[in-house]
Structure 1
Amino acid sequence: MNTMSTSRADAAAAAGAPAAQPAARRILVWDAPVRIVHWLLVLCFAGAWLTAESETLRLVHVTLGYTMAGLVVFRLLWGLAGTRHARFASFVRGPGAALRYLRSLVSRHPDHHTGHNPAGALAILALLGGMLVLVASGWANYNDIGGEWTEELHEAIASGLLALVIVHVLAVLASSWLHRENLVGAMLHGRKPVPAADGIGTPRRAVGALVLACVLGFWWWQWQHAPAALADGHPAATQRHHGDDDD
């Protein structure tokens, strides 16, 4: 059936004006496990930092630390067997590629990457590795292994990670502005304005739900089976540190 109506694009073309470009579709890039682990790590690190000096919240601090370790281990495994842009092989490129990307940012013509950019990839590896060392040093300090130097090491690593997190957040905001895309939002809903061929086929929601269920189950188990002294906020480790003050 013929119609007498004319689209705006056709009218613009007939008048010699350039047609408006269609809006880019948002394509699924980040699967559910990547997004859930990312935000759980944010929660665990922030919570552990805020409860580090509190004896009454010692159980929360310890639980968040153990959770962080489990999440990092899962993310490392998912980086080998996960979806396209979750795999380390798809975005880890080395210092040279990271420097080229940073130079492109300075020139205000940044190279676009569907997944993590090379500089962000190195930051992610540093954060994951640092979190494992942080938890290991915290475990050693809590179990009185290595003396006071483990406590100092734990605090130093935590401070270093906090600085790296701040740099990472600032870099994400700068990249969002330069790329004209909301990278924080993409890590929430998993979608970015990229060609359809660059997307992933499935969000793997079942795996993400399993990760979340394991974390919540571990938290419940910790609360139900924690030693009474730890649950009351008076673990042996803290009593050991305060014992010298009474002399």
Structure 2
Amino acid sequence: MGSTRNEVTGGLRPVRVWDWPTRLFHWALALCVVGAVLSAKVGGNAMEWHFRLGLAVLALLVFRLLWGVVGGRWSRFASFVYAPATLLRYVRGRALPQEHLDVGHSPTGALSVFALLGLLAVQVATGLVADDEIASTGPLVRFVESATSLAATSWHKSWGQWLLLGLVALHVAAIAVYRLVHRRDLVTPMLVGDKPLPPDVPASADHAGRWGLALIALSLGVALALWVQAQGG
């Protein structure tokens, strides 16, 4: 019975790639970013939610930074920081089987992830010191010069906003291309955690002990976000 099943699946087996904390982070971040963008567009009283969601993104980014060091195998930055030569071979279709470049974040996917995380960090930072000179100021605006605050506000509302939307659109488009052209589903593994992979692919640890570690990392992010919020008075 087992050999028949292996023949049907081509010798693949479900391997835990995305642990629970990574998956929850991914979808929570997506919801917060969408909510922050929409609330900014609505304006008025909705700006209160824009600030709250911005602080939530801050907490999530701190979590991801820590989880990138201590998280599950395929969530660690070490698993998807690639040398330029590796990226070039991947783009040329010459990746080595033992490299497992398509298990977690591929070399091109890693570039997208780092770009999104970096740009989100800049957006949060500029939002914290922003001042629209009408009714809204960031909680850390008193710590910077007026010129710095105005420059941060300009970036946050123009280049930063449009670059972020562009990267999100590119991210979604890449997922669609992988699904329609390469017949690879990137969404389901981020929902269920597992991918059908060869038996020699190591799995990410995903158990109660790891979840406790994730809770500590998230708590540190929340603590920082609450401290930042308190600076606004």
TM-score range, shorter chain: 0.7 to 0.9
Cα separation, partners in 2 of 1:99 and 1:207, compared to 1, 3 Å: farther
Distance, in Å, in 2 between the alignment partners of 1:207 and 1:168 is: 30
Task: Name which of 203, 206, 209 aligns with 1:203.
Answer: 206
What amino acid sits opposite 1:160 in the alignment? Answer: L
Distance 1:86 1:210, change over 3 A: same
**SS of 1:202's equivalent?**
coil
Q: What is the letter of the counterpart of residue 68 of structure 1?
A: V
Structure 2 match to 1:131 = 120
Instruction: Pick from 16, 39, 60 the counterpart of residue 28 of structure 1.
Output: 16
Shift of 1:199: 3.8
AA at the equivalent of 1:21 = E
What SS is found at the alignment partner of 1:21? helix
Give me the whole-angstrom Cα distance separating, in 2, the residues matched to 1:39 and 1:94: 28
Tell me if the contact between 1:31 and 1:83 (Cα under 8 Å) persists in the aligned partners.
Answer: yes
CA distance in 1 between partners of 2:7 and 2:155 (Å): 55
Structure 1 CA distance for aligned equivalents of residues 19 and 152 of structure 2: 37
**How large is the RMSD of aligned CA atoms in angstroms?**
3.5
Aligned twin of 2:53 = 64
Of 146, 162, 167, which aligns to 1:164? 167
Per the TM alignment, residue 51 of structure 1 is displaced from its structure 2 partner at its CA by: 0.5
TM-score after normalising by structure 1: 0.70
Task: For residue 33 of structure 1, report the CA deviation from its aligned partner.
Answer: 1.1
The residue type equivalent to 2:191 in the other structure is L
Give the Å deviation of 1:181: 2.9
Local SS of the residue matching 2:15: strand
1:183 aligns with 2:196: no
Shift of 1:131: 0.7
Provide TM-score, normalisation by structure 2.
0.74
**Structure 1 residue matching 2:128: 3-state secondary structure:** helix
Q: After TM superposition, list the pairs within 5 Å mapping 1:217-236 onto structure 2.
A: none
Q: Which letter maps to 1:44? A: C
Match of 1:154 in 2: 156
* CA distance in 1 between partners of 2:171 and 2:213 (Å): 24
* SS in structure 2 at match of 1:30: coil
CA distance in 1, matches of 2:48, 2:126: 17
- State which structure, 1 or 2, has the greater radius of gyration over its C-alpha atoms: 1
Residues 88/147 of structure 1: CA separation in 2 closer, same or farther (3 Å cut): closer
Separation (CA, whole Å) in 2 of partners of 1:180 and 1:112: 17
Q: CA deviation at 1:95?
A: 4.0
Deviation, 1:203, is 1.9
> Number of matched residues?
204
Counterpart code for 1:36 = L
Q: How far apart are residue 161 of structure 1 and its match?
A: 1.0
Contact 2:58 2:124 in 1 (8 A): yes
Q: Aligned partners of 2:71, 2:83: CA distance in 1, in Å? A: 21
Q: Which runs of 4+ in 1 moved over 4 A?
A: 211-215
CA deviations on 1:163-199 (whole Å, 9 max, x unpaired) are 0111111112222344433111111111111123324
> Does residue 1:88 correspond to 2:93, yes or no?
no
Which residue is 1:45 aligned to?
33
Q: Percent identity, please.
A: 37
Structure 2 gaps of 5+ residues are: 95-99, 131-136
Structure 1 CA distance, aligned partners of 2:164 and 2:105? Answer: 19
